[in-house]
Structure formats: structure tokens, C-alpha cells
Amino acid sequence: MRILLSIALLTTMVSCVSTRIDRKINDASWDSLADESYLRWGEQRLLKSAKTEHPVIGCYRGESKKVLESYKKDYLTKHDDPYYWLHIGNCYFIQENWSKAEFFYRISIDEAKSKTLKSIALNNLGLIHFKYEQWEKGKTYLKESMELAPSIKVPRYNISQLYLQFGLYDRAIEVLNDPAFRGHKDIDVYFSLANAYLYKGEINRAAQYFQMIPREHYKREDIAATYALYLIKQGKVSEAKRVMEDRDRSGVVELTQISQKIEKMIAFRLKKDK
């Protein structure tokens, strides 16, 4: 019983820190949010698109200072363009300068006539409030974003992560099964659904979504840790040990600590089973 409770607790802890690791995806076919957000674009995709996309893509390549200087020079010709303010906000968001990012997102909302653009800015404001742990306020912005642009996936994905974090698994599942995601493959959507079903105790449903994730992504530490917990619940402790041994270390302190606890759990179970 104690083992099952530990697995449940660790699963919840993994879902809480999952958004803080490197989740870059180089194969665009596995990124259903690719046309709405650059955040998960891998270096190869960023380099390939650098000359054809907006200058803001430089901020996602670690060139925020250079890009922001360029935007300052463009003020006279582009200050009437709401995307100009949105992209400046995005650069500050990547720099984790939340107050400046919020300032420019609000200008973008004031200037925008497009519902889609307003939706993007509202989504980003929601994420900023999550950084301050203002969960209810952030959720309100995400819901406004979803109402303005029903077909946009990013705010739906973000609100699903909030529901996962607070144990509202049925709500997370409902959001991730929204028609907006149909016809798309996505590593993090599948992982989130596997996580939700695993915690609900619906092991077979969790297995279905784990199997949809390409095997090379099992090296990502949050996926490895959650999949190892699934294998432990299945009694496949030796396989769980191999998964943890093969994982890439994320460098996220909390996730490292969780992984160490899982490894101790595995060692205990293997010793007990001898």
C-alpha cells in the first residue's frame, strides 16, 4: 500500500515540474502547437526558419538583446502593428522579464483588432500569472483566450497542464480531447494523457498513450520518470530500472530529486524480490 501511495505522490510531483524542462522537438510532425508557438521548436527548426519567419525567432535562439535593439529601431514604421508589441513581449517573456512582457502584451491587446492576436496575448498573460502562482487569475486569462479563438490549441494545452498540476485529471483529459487537437500528433499531449490516466488508475488507457510516444523521447527525464512509475505498477521493475538508467539528466533540481526517489524505490523492490 505504501508503494502505491508513493507512486501516486511521485506521479503528481513529476507533472508539477514537467513544464520546466527542455521540451524542444526537432520533428515538426510531433509538435501540434508548431503553428502557434515557437517555444518547443528545436535548434534545427529554428535555424531552418530563421530567414523566413518573423525576426522574433531570434529571441528563441538566445538572441533577445539583439532582436530587441532591432525592434527599437523599427518603432516609427511598425508601432501601429499589434504583432510588433506582441513579439517584443515574447522576447521579454523568454528572458523571464515578466513585468516588461506583461506591459507589451497589454499594449498588443489594446491595439489588436484580430481575435486570434488578442487570444495569443491573453494566453501569454495567463502564463505570466502562473509564474507568480496566481493560478485563478491565470486560468481566467486562458479561458478568455479560448473563448476568443476556439480553434487555437496553445491555451487549451496550457490549461490542461494547470488541471494536471492540481489533480483535476478528468478536466485535463476533456480539454486534451478537444476537437482542436484531432488529426494532430503531439508528444506532450500524449504524455499528459498518459499521466492523467495513470494517476486515475486506468493503467490500460495510460499504456495506450505511452505507446504513442516515440521511443527516443523516453530519454526525457519527466517522461522516463513517469513511465518508470507506470512499469513499477505493472510489476516490471527491471524494465523500469533500464528506463531510468537511459534517461537524460534535465538539471531541474526537483526532477532530479524525484528521479533519485524512484531509483531508490526500484532498488528496494529488486532487493525485496530476490
C-alpha cell at 47: 535555424
What per-residue confidence (pLDDT) applies to 3?
A: 45
Question: Coil, strand, or helix at residue 80?
Answer: coil
pLDDT in tens, 60-69: 888 899 999 9
Alpha carbon distance 107, 125 (integer Å)? 12
What per-residue confidence (pLDDT) applies to 18?
A: 54
Top-confidence residue, 164 or 53: 164
Q: pLDDT band for 45, please (50, 70, 90 cuts).
A: confident
Top-confidence residue, 11 or 47: 47
Grid look-up 525567432 returns 57
The per-residue pLDDT of the chain, averaged, comes to 88
Tabulate helix, strand, coil % of the chain (nearest 5): 75, 0, 25
- Summarize the confidence of residues 113-135 as an average pLDDT: 95
What per-residue confidence (pLDDT) applies to 5?
A: 42
What per-residue confidence (pLDDT) applies to 210?
A: 97
pLDDT of 213 over the 90 cut? yes
Q: pLDDT band for 48, please (50, 70, 90 cuts).
A: low
Q: What are phi and psi of 108, to 5 degrees?
A: -60, -45
Is residue 63 within 8 Å of residue 80, measured between CB atoms?
no
Residue 94 vs residues 39, 154, 184, 217: alpha-carbon distances, Å: 9, 16, 26, 24
pLDDT of 140 over the 70 cut? yes
Q: pLDDT band for 103, please (50, 70, 90 cuts).
A: very high
pLDDT of 263 over the 80 cut? yes
Is residue 193 within 8 Å of residue 157, measured between CB atoms?
no
- The identity of residue 263, as a single letter, is E
Residues 6+ apart with CB under 8 A from 78: 71, 84
What per-residue confidence (pLDDT) applies to 2?
A: 43
List of domains in the chain = 1-31+189-274 (1.25.40), 37-152 (1.25.40.10)
As a whole-number percent, the residues of the chain with pLDDT over 90 amount to 66
pTM for the complete prediction? 0.88
Top-confidence residue, 2 or 206: 206
- Closest to 268 (Cα-Cα) out of 225, 234, 232: 232
- Summarize the confidence of residues 18-24 as an average pLDDT: 68
Q: pLDDT band for 212, please (50, 70, 90 cuts).
A: very high
